[in-house]
Each structure stands twice: as structure tokens, then as C-alpha cells.
Chains A and B, each alone.
Chain A
Amino acid sequence: GQQLNQSPQSMFIQEGEDVSMNCTSSSIFNTWLWYKQDPGEGPVLLIALYKAGELTSNGRLTAQFGITRKDSFLNISASIPSDVGIYFCAGANSKLTFGKGITLSVRP
């Protein structure tokens, strides 16, 4: 079946640093989505990408839909403590496939 690879499982950065997360797959997707999950809450959509090569920003977040349609990345610039959480990528065709998530910790 379709699988998405997100690694590493955890990332630790200093407040103010930029961080980049990749998501790769052996399958092609029509849509790429990035979610963030805070403790005790459901995942919340950060950015949706619909076209190969598309680069989209949402505040300090930037995400790109890979040209091959098999990957995507999310960049967070000038991190702040409230950026901590689990970041999931998801690829969508008729169904949605999720990566296992990256837990981000930000040291003040």
C-alpha cells in the first residue's frame, strides 16, 4: 500500500531557528497536506498543496509540492515555543495517507 516517510521521529531546535521537514513516498499524490497536532487535540491543517511545484506560505510556514508529486517539504522559520507539537504530512488521492509524524521540540 501507499506509505509516507517522515524522519527523524523527533527534532529539537532552539527558539529562533528555522527547521525543515521532508515527506517522501514511492507513490504519486494529487494533493499534499501538512497538519500540526497539539497535545490532547486533533490534527489541525496548516497548508494544503494542490499542484506539482506549488510553493505556499502561511505566516512563518512554507510548504512545497514536489515536482515528481512524490514528496513535499515544510519549513518553519524563526521558531517560537508554541511551534512545539507533532507535524504530519499527508498525501491524498481518493484516500488520505499519513506519515507517522515528527515531534518538534523548541528550546527557549
Chain B
Amino acid sequence: NAGVTQTPKFQVLKTGQSMTLQCAQDMNHNSMYWYRQDPGMGLRLIYYSASEGTTDKGEVPNGYNVSRLNKREFSLRLESAAPSQTSVYFCASRINSNEKLFFGSGTQLSVL
């Protein structure tokens, strides 16, 4: 049982480049989330999808877009990467609200 799988594990981009972070879960969870983690800031919610077909902004959505491709997959896109987007990105999922959240192993992104 793989749980939450994120790819890639590491990525380096130049300012202005675009890329998509992929996330898939095999737990039949309804809700999926993208967080970024920065030193001293904890985990901040970028976007989430409460159920297939819906997406909503979180705390820090600017500069990002998401797609809930199907129930399993939730991707995060940076259209024009900026150095401020250098961070560790985590995808997470849970079956429903008020339930436990399960995390992927993270993507370490550096924007030069």
C-alpha cells in the first residue's frame, strides 16, 4: 500500500520556468491538499480539493494552480517560478473532514 506518492523528490528551476508537481493516493480518499513548509513557518496550505471536481484556495495560493485530475490525483502547477517559491512541498490526503491527514514524502524545490 503506497499511500500518498509525490514526484519528483527534488527539482531545481530557473526563475520564470514552469513545472507541475504530481501527487497520487491509493487510499480512496476524498480530500487532497498541497502544503508548503518553510523554516519557522510550519506547514501552510496552498490549495485543497475537498472532493473530486472541486478545488479551493488555502492560505498561500498566489503563484500556484491545481488540478484534481480524478479521485486519485491532485497536481500543483507553478506557471512562472519565483525564488520565493523555494520550499518543500507536501501533498496530503484524508477520507473526509475531521479525519486523519496522510502526507507524501515531499518535493524539495529550489528556484534560482
Residues of A within 8 A of B (CB): 1, 9, 30-31, 33, 35, 40-45, 48, 50, 88, 90, 92-96, 98-101
Contact = CB atoms under 8 A, between A and B. Distances in A.
B101 A90 contact: yes
**Chain A interface secondary structure, helix, strand, loop or mixed?**
loop
Contacts of A35: 103
A40 B106 contact: yes
A33 B100 contact: yes
Contact of A92 (B45, B92, B97): B97
Interface string B80-93: 00000000001010
Interface string B34-53: 00000011110100100000
7 contacts: A1-B59, A35-B103, A41-B106, A42-B103, A45-B100, A45-B102, A92-B97
B54 interface: no
Interface residues of B, number: 21
Interface string B57-97: 00100000000000000000000000000000010100001
B7 interface: no
Contacts of B102: 45
A48 B103 contact: no
Contacts of A94: 97-98
B49 to A, nearest CB: 12
A45 B92 CA distance: 12
The 10 closest A-B pairs by CB, nearest first: A42-B103, A100-B42, A98-B43, A94-B97, A42-B105, A31-B98, A43-B103, A48-B100, A42-B106, A30-B98
